Amino acid sequence: MTDAVPTARGKGLARSAGALAGLKVIDLTRVLGGPYCTMVLSDHGAEVIKLEPPQGDEVRDWGPPFDEKGDASYFLGVNRNKRSVGLDLAKPEGRQVLLRLLEGADVLVENFKPGSMEKWGIGYEQTLRDRFPRLIHCRVSGFGADGPNGGFPGYDAVLQAMTGLMSINGTEDSGPTRLGNPIVDIATGLFSAIAILMALQERQRSGQGQFLDMTLHDCGMALLHPHAANYFLNGRRPVPTGNPHPNLAPYSKFRTRTCEIFVAAGNDPAFRKFCEFLGIPEVARDERFATNGARVTNRAALTEILERRFAEEDGHELTRRMLQAGLPAGPVLHVDEAMAAGHTAHREMVTELGGYRGLGTPIKMSRTPGGTRAAPPRFAEHTEEVLASHGFSAEEIRALREAGVLVEARRR
């Protein structure tokens, strides 16, 4: 069971049953947004039963790299602490299995194309609300079911493009550029987890579940600060600015002798302290740089001065001294360097259990800490275990398997 505290040795492991112990989640999601949401819940004790289609979650194939059993890193990174059941919902008997598993469930998360659940006769308004009045049904989709783009498929990069995120990323030379990680999918997973927790809190008062309509479109739009706020106020189209912040200076990347660094002076007193530390107090007194508004206007001249000042410095040593002086700064690390950093280990942001390694949970709780409880499941690894715990007899399980409703090996 995923609500148990692991006894194996490792790093970033759960040390309690978790804040969400006792919560039962039926997970019909694939790819990233939905699975990211349910992993957040499972890290903190929720029992997550992942019902995979006969082909399995397609990101099991999104590699290389692959592990020794053939599962891709993309799958392994967002599916720990879950149990997998291979189930064909296209068959009426498969939908009956789902309905039995929903008995006593708190949350259903799915990311089918809008209308799919209704086509199968198990939509929220159609069936689930009356049959399971306390159920929270969270649907993750690209655009929702209606409106000009309703029902259209959604993928992270497409939504980065359509919500304006690409238009503010990159430089004048590069033009609109996709963010290097699937930020819309991840944000949708996080917003969905927040929505589920809100609905659970409301259910404490009302005793009723509800339907949560979560879309990549809306969650991508919600990430546009401060660019949308700037546009609402000045009416000017935001453009890519590269590393510099559109509203602050200096807040950017600079070259040093040993590495690139990023420095951030968030207000005028901080900038004066920054200049004193660097031995250039006269720069803070220059009217071109005395206020943040002036620094943003004269960003190019300020950048030239700072580039000269940083040119012969050891960036790692310099930023360490800056941090010790209370000045926000840091070296620009590659992913492997960030994984190996001492503070990463201290914060248990790399988790290990057996042969599994992944990013640890960022949610740190004092009494009910979460973390890794089990490695990501193999396809259909827990089918018999899950069904038996929900009252299915050995004969029923055998009959469902023989009918192709339960799937033991992925269909290619």
Residues classed as catalytic: 185
Cα 129 to its chain centre, rounded Å, is 28
Task: Report how many helices (DSSP H) and strands (DSSP E) the chain contains, helices first.
Answer: 18, 12
Enter the tokens of residue 338. Answer: 């960030």
Task: For residue 249, give every residue at least 6 positions away whose Cβ sits within 8 Å of its Cβ, in sequence order, or none.
Answer: 265, 292, 295, 296, 299, 302
H/E run at residue 159: helix 156-163
Instruction: Find tokens 């599916």 and name the residue.
Output: 79
Enter the tokens of residue 396. Answer: 């029923």
Task: For residue 178, give every residue at least 6 positions away whose Cβ sits within 8 Å of its Cβ, in sequence order, or none.
Answer: 157, 160, 161, 166, 169
Distances in whole angstroms, Cα of residue 79 to Cα of each of 34, 40, 48, 59, 212:
10, 10, 10, 11, 22
Amino acid identity at 294? A
CA angle 156, 159, 164 (to 5 degrees): 130
Cα 319 to its chain centre, rounded Å, is 29
Q: Is the dihedral of CA 95, 101, 103, 109 positive or negative?
A: negative
DSSP state of 366: S
